[in-house]
Amino acid sequence: MKYLVDVNGARQSVVTDGGAARVGELGESATLDPADSIPVRTLRMGDRVVRVVVHSREGRGRYALDIDGHRYHVEALGERARAIQELAAKSAPPAGPAPVIAPMPGLIVRVNVAVGDTVAAGQGVLVMEAMKMENELRASAAATVKTVRVVQGTAVEKGTVLIELE
């Protein structure tokens, strides 16, 4: 089976066949002691034998390894799992605080912030009237106001971006 392994940020391909593995394009060979239940393993690379201490898993396919006194953070996933992970990362929503969006059609009654203001999570940033009721819209996370797209008296539709945060 072929794995794509990230070791401290550097990617290598590893092809396994039983207990043996070929690492990288040079085909450097290594054999790992297959005792899965113990944290200390031996790795034979040619004539050299190295002691590998496998620390607790840090997530799916992620490990911390101690080899010859050095700590390595390793992520080992099969080709298919790696492809799925990379596709999911490409389609992930943008990071950062969510913009304040109109939850329904209405009229902006009051804007409580200006560009450059710092807001706390849950802080009211504007008030809009919908169906004869005033609704205070709040920041979802601590952030800085990037853009205010509305002013008092603006009529808005559902889904309109009112305030952008960064």
Terminal-to-terminal C-alpha distance of the chain:
43
pTM, two decimals, is 0.46
* 3-class secondary structure, 50: strand
Query: CB atoms < 10 A from the CB of 15, how many?
Result: 13
Interval 147-166 mean pLDDT: 94
Candidates 21, 30, 46, 32; CA nearest to 13 is 21
Which residues lie below 8 Å from residue 126, measured CB to CB, with a gap of 6+?
100, 108, 110, 111, 112, 113, 136, 137, 150, 162, 163
Q: Indicate whether 166 pLDDT > 80.
A: yes
What are the tens digits of pLDDT across the range 93-110? 666 788 999 999 999 999
Which residues lie below 8 Å from residue 84, measured CB to CB, with a gap of 6+?
none
Compute the distance between CA of residue 11 and CA of residue 41 in angstroms, rounded to an integer: 22
Interval 122-132 mean pLDDT: 93
Structural domains of the chain, with CATH: 2-90 (3.30.700.30), 100-165 (2.40.50.100)
Q: Indicate whether 143 pLDDT > 80.
A: yes
Query: CB atoms < 10 A from the CB of 163, how many?
Result: 24
Looking at residue 107, its pLDDT comes to 96
**Mean per-residue pLDDT of the chain:** 80
Strand order in the sheet with 106-111: 133-138, 124-130, 106-111, 155-156
Q: What percent of the chain has pLDDT over 90?
A: 37
pLDDT band at 26 (very low <50, low <70, confident <90, very high): very low
What are the tens digits of pLDDT across the range 33-81? 455 556 777 777 667 777 878 776 666 777 777 877 788 777 777 888 8
